Structures are given as C-alpha cells and as structure tokens.
Amino acid sequence: MNRTPPSDRAQDGRIVASHGRDAIVEDGTGARIHCRLHGRRLAVVCGDRVGWIAATTEGGEGLITELRPRRTTLARISRRGEAEPVAANLTQLVAVVAARPAPDFGLCDRYLAAAEWEGLRGCIVANKCDLPESAAELDAVLADYARIGYVAVRTSKLDSIGVEALALHLDRQTSVLVGQSGVGKSSLINLLVPGVEAIVDEVTRATESGRHTTTSSTLYRLPTGGELIDSPGVRDFAPPLPAPREIAGGFREIAALASQCRFADCLHGREPGCAVHAAIADGQVSRRRHDSYQQMVKLAADLAARDPRIRR
C-alpha cells in the first residue's frame, strides 16, 4: 500500500460506511471518497468525524489520518468483555419491541438506560401491531413509557402502519434501531430507506478488500430527513454498564426522585425513607421498571466485584 504521511492538509469528513480498515467518507460537498485508515491504531465507526487526505491507496482514493472528538459513543461489550464503540455522534436511540418474539422489556430498559447515560433521546417502537397477541400487556407497558416522557410509536410492516409517524421522529436526528432479533428492525429499515439493499451492495463492493471477516455498517440519509446508522453489530448489542451507583441515571423517573430519599447515597433497594419506594406504593413509578433497575444494579455490582478494571 502506498502510505502517504499525515499532513495538515487534512480535510473534514464524515464516516458514512465502515468495513474493517476501509471506509467511505463524505466531504463537505456531499462527495463520497473511499478511504483507508492510516496507521494501525486508528479505528473509526459510522457517524465519526475525521480528517482525511487525498491519496491513492490499494483500491482507495483517500487516507483517514485523524479521528475528531466524538460527541456521543454507542458501545457494546466485545467478546473480550471490553466496551467497543459501534456508532458515533448519535442523537437518538430507538428501541424496538414486538409481541413476537416474547418482549424482553428488561432489555428495552437497558437500551433506554444506555441512551440516558450517553445523553441520547430515547424512543420506543412497538412493531407488529397487527398481531393481536399480548396486545393489552404491550399497551400497558407502552403507556408506562409514555408517562415518563418517552415517545412511543406503534408500527406494522403490513400497510406500513405508523411508519410515517416514526419517520417524523427520525427527522433531524442521527438514530439507531436496536432490539431483540426478530422484532422487525430490518423490515422497518426497508420501509424507511428505499433501495436499502442496493446501497448495502454498493458499499460492500466499494469497501471490501481481501477477506470479509468484519461486518460493515452504513449511515443512511432518510428521504424524510434525518440519518439512520445500521450495522448487524449495533442491532442487538449489550450496552456496557456503569458502576452500580450510576445505574439510576439511566432511569429518569428514579433519578428524578433520588434527592427526596432520606439518605443521599440511597440505592433505592431496601433503605428506609426511600422516595422511590413511596412512589411505587402510590403507583407513580412502575414496579416493573424498578425491578429492571434493581437487576441492573445487581449485575453491575457482580461485574465490578469480578473485575473492577472493566466497565461493563
């Protein structure tokens, strides 16, 4: 490979597709340049802002020389148990649930908590609303989320129900769709991004050099406004957990009450004078959400006890 050294001629760009050491950078004029990463230590993900220089490389036209600071980072836990970025500079996380496969609201709470910790907007989509099964349970849980201020949208790929409403919430945002496998994320992306398969083919053809051991991720511009980042790696990721004490920051209705607890360091477990428990008894805070919170506190404590160095 022809290695051109980094220089101060670096231009601003945005990563709109990433595939191992290859990436497609969009410059300020909207032109797309196939770039390779300069140097082993540089790693980028979709949504990153970078500095790049024109340079002929093996199959490419540019070299990415610099990663600009990330405003937000969405990470997953890698196989080695470390936090691994999967998308950058997101503004919104959309958690998708459905009646089938059986909804895992604990996972949904973990996604929404990850959004809170990272300062992202959280939004919930209940897909497959054409299915009658467990509709009452799903509706009740959605009402709980709506009560604490989350946007909740019902959708179905049949007749594209709710897809326009969802598109309105994606406008002006950079979003990801996350959720259990099988809830209908690909189906929704197909409805939101016309010609998505052709785009994926083109990106893969442009960026795959050598063996394709890595999955690619792509940033789509939605015809109705907004951006959507998709990659198999972000769809059902497990977000890393912070320290037990920081878990409450992921549950907005619990965090809002914490200052009213008797003890400043209340973990809203069994402490006397806990305002969160009083609110559960009054029906102001959902018991199900508090259960999710406690499970996450316990998991975070177990992980911290096992390896205090690793954040997960």
Under the criterion CB under 6 A, does residue 130 sit at the interface with ligand GDP?
A: yes
**Spatial distance between the Cα atoms of 13 and 30, rounded to a whole number of angstroms:** 9
Nearest one of 193, 199, 203 to 226, comparing CA atoms: 193
Shortest Cβ 128–ligand GDP spacing (Å): 4
Q: Which stretch binds ligand GDP (CB under 6 A): 123-131, 191-199, 202-210, 276-284?
A: 123-131
Query: If binding is defined by CB under 5 A, does position 248 make contact with Zn ion?
Result: no
Q: Considering the complex, what minimum distance in angstroms separates the CB of residue 185 from ligand GDP?
A: 3
Applying CB under 6 A, among 32, 68, 121, 157 the residue interacting with ligand GDP is 157
259-298 mask for Zn ion (x: CB under 5 A)? --x----x-x-----x-x----------------------
3-class secondary structure per residue, 31-47? CEEEEEECCCCCCCCCC
**Options 58-66, 132-140, 145-153, 179-187: segment touching ligand GDP (CB under 6 A):** 179-187
Q: How far is CA 126 from CA 81, 94, 140, 141, in A?
A: 30, 10, 12, 10
* Residue 210: DSSP 8-state: S
- 291 forms part of the interface with ligand GDP (CB under 6 A): no
Residue among 73, 87, 106 nearest 247 (CA) = 106
Cα 62 to Cα 45: distance, rounded to the nearest angstrom? 17
Among 49, 185, 268, 290, binds ligand GDP (CB under 6 A): 185
**Which of helix, strand or coil describes residue 179?**
coil
Tell me which of 56, 181, 215, 224 binds ligand GDP, using CB under 6 A. 181
User: Based on CB atoms, which residue is closest to ligand GDP, 42 or 199?
Assistant: 199
In whole angstroms, the minimum distance from the beta carbon of 143 to ligand GDP comes to 20
Q: Are 64 and 89 in contact (CB under 8 A)?
A: no
In the bound complex, what is the minimum distance in angstroms from residue 268's beta carbon to Zn ion? Answer: 4
> Nearest residue to ligand GDP, using CB?
184
Question: Which tokens in the block code for residue 306?
Answer: 């096992």
Q: Is 187 in the site for ligand GDP (CB under 6 A)?
A: yes
- Provide the 10 A C-beta neighbour count for residue 224: 12
Give the count of beta carbons closer than 10 Å to the beta carbon of residue 254. Answer: 21
Exposure string over 112-149, b if 16+ CB within 10 A, otherwise e:
bbbbbbbebbbbbbbbbbeeeeeeeebeebbebbeebe
Among ligand GDP, Zn ion, none, partner that 175 touches (CB below 5 to 8 angstroms by kind): none
- Considering the complex, state which of residue 58 and residue 164 has its C-beta at the smaller distance from ligand GDP: 164
158 binds ligand GDP (CB under 6 A): yes
Cβ-contact 124, 108 below 8 angstroms: yes
Q: Tell me whether residue 16 or residue 94 sits nearer to ligand GDP (CB atom).
A: 94
Question: Which one, 71 or 157, has the nearer CB to ligand GDP?
Answer: 157
* Footprint of ligand GDP (CB under 6 A): 127-128, 130-131, 156-158, 181-187
